[in-house]
Structure 1
């Protein structure tokens, strides 16, 4: 027979002999409600002269709180019953099967319905738990870095276009300035490094200034008459400003009217060479100087014309 819980309206299949002739108190294993269940009276046992009493209209049960462990979707209409053990009143015990996989309800010794789970499979077996792998995902390490072939190439440094040209310009200036200095200041280079003189000559770059390292000091002029001839006498001192012995070139006296050359005279030096830091006096005599001359110059020269008269060495040295 089908038994319905008055509280939660759950249906159970119960053998008729389990209730006995006087009925039995049952307890719903779903909601825990207890009620007395009377046995079903067969239709042939009802007296013919008595009309069957109308069945009482069942009161709508109050909905109970949902059981979190309840099995949804389980058929409760047709569940086979199995007799297990005798009850206290001598009636055999029985088990109510709800028909769901893995769950059944048993009558205990006091006639209550009790739920038991199958040991073969848990209630929620076969259902994927979406939170089962959350801890594993949260504790997972960071993935391996991408291979170099998939990684973005490093940015190339921006090359300044004007930097190369600027460095080339600086290099040219240094080389050009150094070359010009070595050529234009070769006399000073030779003074500092005497061995550089032959190198300049071998390279054909020797352009020695006549009288380099030699200077005139304290020269003066005087006009006089000797043997009824007017004479110009120029006196002075030649000084060697270097630390090397210098050869003395020829001396040249020139008379000018502004920039116009009027007269000149070339003579030999008082001696052939002059020691380091040494000095020597000189005197140049010019007969019949031009009356229009306003100034004179004394310089060193390599002129090949023969000197007129050797320069007379002054007695003593200028301070």
Structure 2
């Protein structure tokens, strides 16, 4: 069967069952015009004009039927029918193509955020460190006060009891510098007092000589005789040693 484009007149040769009984949307391959074709249209399409038999008076120019058929066949072969162009369905090709509508781009939705595990873990670590510092400050408060006496006031403000154990011995001493035949000497004398409520072994003392910059230049040990010292008892001690020219000060300390 043949279809003729109503816009440009181009003919198409299609299979007999290509249109179907209900019609089909087709498009002209030459001009792009689309229309819905029906079987009746194919039946009603005008056929190629056929040569009219010449009049009786023109017997000299008579054309044979075989020549007419050959001419029609040659024209058909010279202009093959373009293929039928359709959409995916019978009504898939729109009749009117509307102008494109400009739409404002919609903002993208914010990204979904899950639980903030990093922030939560950071806070947990912070509280763990604070709890560790507070616990250590409570449990080792006596050692902290012994090393840093200034923290005693802080513990008092917080109402935390601290065992402030005083020194076991108190030293009361004096010095005397003399010049002898062997040179300048320093004499140290004084008392060692037991400041506890129990008898303690007699301690050992150390004499340290210092220069003007506070650096140690000499030292020696001093034994306190007499055995254990009773509570509150004051035990005398005395020692003597050389006094170098570089010496500027002297100190007596407990070794035990």
Which structure features the higher share of helix residues? 2
Question: TM-score of the superposition, structure 2-length normalised?
Answer: 0.38
Question: TM-score of the superposition, structure 1-length normalised?
Answer: 0.31
Larger radius of gyration: 1
Point out which structure has higher relative CO (alpha carbons under 8 A, 6+ apart): 2
